[in-house]
Homo-oligomer: A and B are copies of this chain.
Amino acid sequence: MSEIISISVDVMGGDTGPAVTVPGCALALERLPNTRFILVGDETQIKAVLENYPELEEKSEVIHTDVAVGMDDKPSQALRRGRRVSSMWVALAAVADKRAGFAVSAGNTGALMAMARFALKMMPNVSRPAIAAIWPTIPGESIVLDVGATIGVDSERLVDFAVMGEAMARALFGIERPSVGLLNIGVEEVKGLEEVRIAHRMLRSSNIPMQYKGFVEGDDIGKGSVDVVVTEGFSGNIALKTAEGTAKQFAAYLRSAMSQTFLSRIGFLLARSAFARLREKMDPRKSNGGVFLGLNGIVIKSHGGTDAEGFAAAVALGYEMTSNNLLDNISADLTLHRASVDAEAETGQEGEKQDK
């Protein structure tokens, strides 16, 4: 019997708020019986939905808040209006106070990240947060980070991202030494941005528990060439959105092709279980949930437009991270990495001394 994990939920976040988030929590509870919920938001609205889910009601505490952060609020606006008083903030504060193991919100990403940085603070030795996405691949799943938290980072930040991503892969996939690649254009060392090249050299000589595979290109993500793909937030976000766009495009082509002739329509009917399996495989709800990394607490960002199934997947993702001690793993690996950097600096100095 594992211990019970408390989950704080920003019930008001997302395009539809309680109508999706509360049933999502109910679904998650069915699958994860060792959980309790702290439901934060408008009490009247929450209770109106919650009464349909007696099992969830029994395992939940409702915390009333008057303010809900809007989906279009800018981070600065959200902080001004919502600090200490919004459902988003109070859900994060429960993680800061150790009353919850992790927080989930379908609210707007920029506001959630800004509030999380205030409410939870950065981990020691980490200066910039990252958002990690679970990316479905041909053989299974990979982790891609950063997909939009920080733009234009330097090489040390890229190395931090590699360490955090590797720790997350161990927690999520149960792999002892996950393979890690650095997203670049071309696999020659001469190509690519200066920061990416420096990070490459740093990762090659680090002793963190991973297999560093060097540079990977955009098409390696879908192939699943590595467990963890590291990049800065601008290109990571563009890669993520471009893949979403391509998947939709393929689905549109397929629909149009299958409805074109009488025979193709019959074929489609006969193969409908295969198409259902394909749809399930491509289902964005299954890999719903970006994990905020680098903070003193686990925060899961659910897609704003998701349904109860997708929200439950985001909750399950947080549960997985929390029960596998993601934060402790990251801390330990960061310490290990710093030690290897320091040791190398010392050796380097000694080498210099000997040169004299």
B257 touches A278 (CB 8 A): yes
Q: Does A174 contact B (CB under 8 A)?
A: no
Q: Does A59 contact B (CB under 8 A)?
A: no
Question: With A and B bound together, what is the CA distance between A183 and B248 in angstroms?
Answer: 19
| Interface residue from B152, B191, B242 paired with A221 (Cβ < 8 Å) | B242
Residues of B within 8 A of A269 (CB): 267
- Contacts A185-B238, A234-B193, A246-B243 given; indicate if A274 touches B261 (C-beta within 8 A): yes
B186 touches A110 (CB 8 A): yes
B233 touches A185 (CB 8 A): yes
Q: Does A74 contact B (CB under 8 A)?
A: yes
B-contacting residues, A89-142, CB 8 Å: 110, 136-138
Residue in A193, A220, A253, A273 whose Cβ sees the most chain B Cβ within 10 Å: A253
Question: With A and B bound together, what is the CA distance between A353 and B94 in angstroms?
Answer: 58
Q: Does A258 contact B (CB under 8 A)?
A: yes
Q: Does A240 contact B (CB under 8 A)?
A: yes
**Chain A at the B interface: SS class:** helix
- Contacts A151-B193, A188-B74, A274-B267 given; indicate if A223 touches B235 (C-beta within 8 A): no
Q: Does A190 contact B (CB under 8 A)?
A: yes
B238 touches A223 (CB 8 A): no
Q: Does A48 contact B (CB under 8 A)?
A: no
Q: Does A352 contact B (CB under 8 A)?
A: no
Task: Considering the complex, give the chain B residue whose CB is closest to the CB of A144.
Answer: B242
B183 touches A238 (CB 8 A): yes
| Interface residue from B247, B257, B263 paired with A246 (Cβ < 8 Å) | B247
B245 touches A222 (CB 8 A): yes
Residues of B within 8 A of A246 (CB): 222, 242-243, 246-247, 250
Residues of B within 8 A of A274 (CB): 257-258, 260-261, 263-264, 267-268
A241 touches B217 (CB 8 A): yes
Given A218-B245, A257-B275, 13 more contacts at CB 8 Å? Answer: A110-B191, A138-B249, A138-B253, A217-B238, A219-B242, A222-B242, A235-B238, A243-B245, A257-B281, A261-B273, A261-B274, A264-B271, A264-B274
Q: List 11 A-B contacts (CB under 8 A).
A: A138-B249, A151-B185, A218-B244, A222-B249, A235-B235, A243-B243, A246-B250, A247-B250, A254-B254, A261-B273, A263-B274
